[in-house]
Amino acid sequence: MGNGAFPRELLADVVPKLVATARGDLAATLVIRNGKLVNVCSGEVVERISIAVQGSRIAYVGFDVAPMIGEETKIIDADGAYIAPGLLDGHCHVESSQLTVSQFAKAILPHGTTGIFYDAHEIANVLGKDGLKMMLEEGRMTPLSAYMAIASCVPASSLGFETPGALFGPDDIREMMTWGPDVISLGEVMNFPGVVFGDEVMMGEIQSSLRAGRVIDGHFTWPVDDWKINAYAAAGITSDHELTKIEDVIERVRLGMYAMMRRGSAWHDVEKTIKAYTERKIDPRRLMLVTDDRNAESLVQEGHMDFVVRHAIAQGVPPVVAFQMATINTAERFGISRDIGTVTPASNADIILLDGDLANVKVSMTIAAGQVVAENGKMTVQMPTYHYPKAALQSVHINRSLVKQEFVIPAPISAGLIDVRAIQLIENSVETKEVFVSVPVYENQLCINESNNLCKIAVVERHSGKGTINLGLLSGVGLTKPAAVAMTVAHDSHNLLVIGNNDELMVKAGNTVIDLNGGIVVVMEDGTTTQLRLPVAGLMSMESYEVVADQSAAVSAALKAVGCNLNYAFMTLSLLALVVIPTLRISDKGLVKVTSDGFKFVTLYKDDPTAKYKS
């Protein structure tokens, strides 16, 4: 880890220098004097603390740093400010920010995040192992402690329910676990029915990871059920972030799992889940704060882990405990608390300084691997540029233009009203509802427009060149004018997703995204088009995080202009093809429902089980 400009030294290699520095026989490379240390080990704030750093690691934490100062020592006077470990995001997807790893680092380091545990299953579903290698290589070029979770579910469910751009099995997992110590875990195991009911592939992937000495991240969305969650935990899965209520947290912790409480751009789960600690008084040592998904727009407008910690404090969590949930708890969960998550001798010098009241979490300086990398909200260092290969920039394989007829949904009656199964959005939640709506039929076609608060939703397969399409209905978008939005960010297989209430506009939006070779496009009735180009795997921009944030905000504004007022609407819409989250989703192969037995296809029409729509 930390090759090039931001080296991170192995502890075993630098022990003599660290000891010599603590003795006062070797001058420190960096000293921070006179601060108030947020000690996440002891759970207290310690006054008048100074820290001596040698290279990329901490040598001394105490009250008399004078013997360690030499002529070349860089000195920072904290002047009574708080000093804390750099914040850690224990579960995130970099691609969901629409940023490359380098730009993601530039966006979050000024906010005090110095370490990420990122599951790059988005790019894995498009580019396979090559995509993961790209992310890993770029992460190593940044100041971050960047740890990769190897994607476990490519595709998220199985080939029977969706079409991805790659397919992983136990042998692939075994190979990828040898890529380096910064490959930290097996990423979230979304095929939870496969685990519970003993799917051979899932069992093989888990066993390969355990034999490699890695921990395993969870994704379990079934309701509380004694034997199923026990079966899941019995597979060696020791964390879960799909928690939406108090009982979810308590249930996991009682089984020895780490409960990852999520506050993403559009998934607001901390407010409810944190009550397991603030109201039910559960021990916080296995509670973690994570983001899961935050786009560039929310990173600029709200922040990153500093925002999540501040939010937890606002829910009644004592500040030091909130910091523990975003530092030492995370490091201990992954078994690397010797290296990160604390300000202690021998640890990596990933340190933040904070202005004002601790509860405000106002980061004024970020130090990563012993270097000041950000100050007063701005980066102070340059990072090398990572160059993505041509294959990563040409990943939308739809070898034709979409036409209006493909967006027509045939009905089994010639005219009248018919009951149709629809996906109902839930704002600020990853989940959806299954609803039945009465829809008018004219000339054997469903009639959808802004007057009935429904949209058509289409998934077009984009990996093989076949471009097969599947259609359904969506409720709750809120469009009050004719409009369409299309995107190649459609978790997790990332086929082309098109949503709208006007077939012609859906065609235009979809074809524009195809022409861009990936991105997000909103088309209004007058032809006005707003776009965010995402050439890297159809997921990430090559622009700066500031530019992407502006373009993302423009997409949000365009959606609001046509009546979609959902909070960070794009983030919610992008999950509609993720077939492993309750209750109803859509893929290129059909409507998929999460049930107590697993995943199953369901029909579009309520009273005609033979009428499942296929183009």
Residues with Cβ within 8 Å of residue 12, at least 6 apart in sequence:
none
The pLDDT assigned to 11 comes to 98
What is 305-368 written as a DSSP string? HHHHHHHHHHTT--HHHHHHHTTHHHHHHTT-TTTSSS-STTSB--EEEEES-GGG-EEEEEEE
Q: Is the pLDDT of residue 133 over 60?
A: yes
Q: What is the DSSP letter of 511?
A: H
The pLDDT assigned to 398 comes to 97
Straight-line distance from the first to the last Cα atom of the chain, in angstroms, rounded to the nearest whole number: 48
Burial class (CB in 10 A: 0-12, 13-18, 19+), 171: exposed
CA 483 from chain centre, in angstroms, equals 28
The pLDDT assigned to 226 comes to 82
Find the length of the chain: 615
The pLDDT assigned to 183 comes to 98
CATH code of the region 87-341: 3.20.20.140
* Per-domain residue ranges of the chain: 87-341, 393-602
Structure tokens at 173: 């997992």
Structure tokens at 26: 């070797």
pLDDT band at 614 (very low <50, low <70, confident <90, very high): very low
Find the mean pLDDT for residues 143-166: 93
The pLDDT assigned to 596 comes to 86
CA 58 from chain centre, in angstroms, equals 30
pLDDT 10s digits, 292-349? 999 999 999 999 999 999 999 999 999 999 999 999 999 999 999 999 999 999 999 9
Find the mean pLDDT for residues 252-258: 97
This prediction has a pTM of: 0.96
Cα angle for residues 395, 401, 407 (degrees, 5° grid): 110
Q: Is the pLDDT of residue 17 over 50?
A: yes
Q: Is the pLDDT of residue 408 over 60?
A: yes
The pLDDT assigned to 613 comes to 42
User: Average pLDDT of the chain?
Assistant: 96
Find the mean pLDDT for residues 574-597: 94
